[in-house]
Amino acid sequence: MTPDPHVTAALRPGVRCRLSARARAAQLTDRRHEEILTGLTGGQVAVLERLSSQECRLPVLRRMAGGGPFVDRLLDGGWVRQAVYAGADHLYSIEPVRPRTPPSPGRALSRFTVLRAVAGGLLLESPLAWADLRLHHDAVGRALGRLAGLAGAGASGPAARLLADLQYAGLTTADGEDEDLRLRQWQPHELWFHHRSRLTGRARAGVDFGATWWADGLFDQPPPTAAPRGDGIPLAAADPALVAKTDPSLGQVLRRRRSIREHDDANPITVGQLGEFLDRCGRVAHVTADGRQVTLPYPTAGSTGGLELYAVVRLVDGLSPGLYHYDGAAHRLHPLAAPEPAIRELLNRAADSAGVAAEPQVLVIVSARFGRVMWKYQTMGYGLILKNTGVLFHLMYLVATAMDLAPCALGAGDAELFSRAARLDPAAESSVGEFLLGSRPVDG
C-alpha cells in the first residue's frame, strides 16, 4: 500500500444538489433527509459545483475560499463520498449512510463490523457505524487483516490512514464496548437483523426494500399452498354453528389464555380436536385466480401466506404417532416417512425447551416457505415471516383456550433436525416456530 495515499471527494450517489448561485443558497436532499444551505460565499458555491460534477482532491477543496469549515460541514452531514488512492490505485471509499457521529477512539474492529462480498469488491459495514468502507484493492484486505489481528500496532503510511478511516467511520471500538447493557445485550446477528429489517440509511423503500416485486419476471412465485404428499387423512372440520354456541366470549378467552406445558395422557387430545384446531388456525379459505393472495384465518404480509403446519404426534386418540404435514387447502393430514429417532428427538427437545420432563402429546411446527414472501418483499422479508408467525401463535393460543386445550408456544426449536426429518431443503422451507398442544390437565 505505497505510496502515501491521497483523498478525493464528490457528492455520494443518491444526493441531489439544487444550487442557486444568485440566491447564494443550496438544497441537499437524499431519500431520507435534506439540508438547506443559505448565505453561501462564492467560494462555497464553487465547492458545491465541483462536488456535484466530479471527484476533486480534498485538500484542493479545503483551500478554496471558505472551503475548510464548509467542507467539514458537508462531510459531517453525510453528503460526501471520499475515495482514497495510492498513486493510481483506488484503495477504498468511505460511503456515508447517515450524518457523521463522533469517531471511535478504539484500534480494534468492533464485533458488530462485518466484511461481505458486493458487486465490484468487498464492503465493511456495521449497524453502529455512520459510514461504510468499500474496498477496491486487494492490498487493503491484507492490511485490514493485519490491523484486525494486531489492533493497529505499528501501523504507518497507508495502513495508518486505513486505521484512522476505520475509526472515523465508526467501525472500530474502544475497550469496554460490552461493559454496558446497551451493547452487551446484542449478539451481532440480532443487531444486524434489527437494523437491516427496518428502514435505515442503507435501505431505499420501493427500490431495494419493501414490496418491490423484485422476482416478478425472474422467477415463478412459489404456489400459494404446498403440494400435497399423497392422498392424506381427511379431518373433520369445525362446525361453525357449534363453535358459535359453545365458544366462550373473546373477553373470556383473553382472560383465560395462558401457557400450559403439561398434558393429561389419561385423556389425550383426539384426532377430531386436532382437526378442529388445524381447521380454525390454518385452513385455506380462498386463493386469488393469479395465486398471489391467500385468505387464511390470520393475516399475513400482503396476504402472501407461506406458513405451513406440521404435527409431530406422540399421543392422539385416533391417530398413529409420527410426523404429519397439514394440507390447509384440502384439510387433510399427510403422514411423512420421518425416521422414528428424529421424531423422538423433536419431542424431547420440545420438552427441554418448555422446561418439563414429559413430552408433548402434539408438537405443532410452523415452517415457512421463504420464497412465498421473499419473492415480493426485499430486505424485510424474513422479518415479515416472523411477524406472521407471531400472529399465528396468538391465534393458536386463542383457539386452544376456547377449545379447552393446553397450548404453549416455544422460544426456539431445531430447524436442522426438522428439515432432515421432513426432507426439506432448508434454504427453501424451514421451521420458524414451535407450539405444544394437548389435552388440559384436570388441575390446569
Q: List, for residues 97-117, the tens digit of each pLDDT value.
A: 989 988 777 778 888 999 998
pLDDT score, position 108: 82
pLDDT score, position 65: 64
Task: Place 54 in a pLDDT band, splitting at 50, 70 and 90.
Answer: confident
- The predicted model gives 248-262 an average pLDDT of 93
For domain 211-439, give its CATH number from 3.30.70.380, 3.20.20.370, 3.40.109.10, 3.30.2320.30: 3.40.109.10
Where does the chain hold its CATH 3.40.109.10 domain(s)? 211-439
Q: Give the integer Cα–Cα distance in Å for 72 and 53.
A: 19
The closest alpha carbon to 306, from 435, 436, 429, 215, belongs to 429
- The predicted model gives 179-189 an average pLDDT of 87
| Bridge partners of residue 287, in order along the sequence | 294
Contacts of 364 (CB under 8 A, 6+ apart): 309, 310, 311, 312, 396, 434, 435, 436, 437
**8 Å CB contact between 331 and 237:** yes
- The predicted model gives 344-353 an average pLDDT of 94
Task: Place 162 in a pLDDT band, splitting at 50, 70 and 90.
Answer: confident
pLDDT score, position 334: 96
Q: What are phi and psi of 222, to 5 degrees?
A: -55, 150
pLDDT score, position 150: 46
- The predicted model gives 323-340 an average pLDDT of 94
For the cut 70, the answer to whether the pLDDT of residue 349 exceeds it is yes
Q: pLDDT higher for 57 or 102?
A: 57
pLDDT score, position 229: 83
pLDDT score, position 68: 84
- The predicted model gives 310-330 an average pLDDT of 96
The Cα diameter of the chain in Å comes to 88
pLDDT score, position 177: 77
Q: What is the overall mean pLDDT for the chain?
A: 89
CA angle 408, 410, 413 (to 5 degrees): 145
pLDDT score, position 3: 60
pLDDT score, position 329: 94
Radius of gyration over every alpha carbon of the chain, rounded to an integer in angstroms = 29
Burial label for 115, CB within 10 Å (0-12, 13-18, 19+), is: middle
pLDDT score, position 147: 62
pLDDT score, position 227: 87
For the cut 60, the answer to whether the pLDDT of residue 12 exceeds it is yes
**8 Å CB contact between 346 and 421:** yes
For the cut 50, the answer to whether the pLDDT of residue 315 exceeds it is yes
- The predicted model gives 38-53 an average pLDDT of 90
* pLDDT tens per residue, range 192-250: 888 888 877 676 676 777 888 889 999 999 999 998 888 899 998 888 888 888 899 99
Burial label for 310, CB within 10 Å (0-12, 13-18, 19+), is: buried
- The predicted model gives 343-348 an average pLDDT of 94
Percent of the chain with pLDDT over 70: 94
Q: What are phi and psi of 343, to 5 degrees?
A: -65, -45
pLDDT score, position 444: 61
Task: Place 32 in a pLDDT band, splitting at 50, 70 and 90.
Answer: confident
Q: Give the integer Cα–Cα distance in Å for 26 and 223.
A: 51
pLDDT score, position 152: 47
Question: What pTM does this model have?
Answer: 0.86
pLDDT score, position 104: 74
For the cut 80, the answer to whether the pLDDT of residue 282 exceeds it is yes
Task: Place 89 in a pLDDT band, splitting at 50, 70 and 90.
Answer: confident
- The predicted model gives 165-192 an average pLDDT of 86
| Amino acid present at 368 | A
Which of 93-102, 142-151, 176-185 has the largest mean confidence? 93-102
Task: Place 1 in a pLDDT band, splitting at 50, 70 and 90.
Answer: very low
pLDDT score, position 437: 98
Which of 14-23, 229-238, 307-316 has the largest mean confidence? 307-316
| 3-class SS letters over the chain | CCCCEEEEEEECCCCEEEEECCCCEEEEECCCCEEEECCCCHHHHHHHHHHHHCCEEHHHHHHCCCHHHHHHHHHHCCCEEEEEEECCEEEEEEEECCCCCCCCCCCEECCCCEEEEECCEEEEECCCCCEEEEECCHHHHHHHHHHHHHCCCCCCHHHHHHHHHHHHHCCEECCCCCCCHHHHCCCHHHHHHHHHCCCCCCCCECCCEEECCCCECCECCCCCCCCCCCCCEECCCCCHHHHHHHCCCHHHHHHHCCCCCCCCCCCCCEHHHHHHHHHHHHCCCEECCCCCCEECCCCCHHHCCCEEEEEEECCEECECCEEEEEECCCCEEEEECCCHHHHHHHHHHHHHHHCCCCCCCEEEEEEEEHHHHHCCEECCHHHHHHHHHHHHHHHHHHHHHHCCEEEEECCCCCHHHHHHHHCCCCCCEEEEEEEEEEECCCCC
